[in-house]
Amino acid sequence: MSDVRRIEPLWTIEQVAEYLQIPVKTLYQWRHTGYGPCGRRIGRYVRYRAEDVRAWVDSLSERSA
């Protein structure tokens, strides 16, 4: 059996907006102001690691608790 780890695909800005249940435009505004989950530019595209998005959401609950 091979020891190949499954790599989770990067999320598009549309997928992150759907996950957070917010408009895509809001996510672009957040990026412009430095708020929100960390996205990475890959060429002309913005991509997000799912673990970064989840960690960002988790950090919100810690702050508001």
pLDDT tens string 8-19: 899 999 999 999
* Predicted confidence (pLDDT) per residue in 18-48, tens digit: 999 999 999 999 999 999 999 999 999 999 9
Higher-confidence residue: 3 or 12?
Answer: 12
C-beta separation of 51 from 58 below 8 A: no
> Could you give phi then psi for residue 52, rounded to 5 degrees?
-70, -40
This prediction has a pTM of 0.81
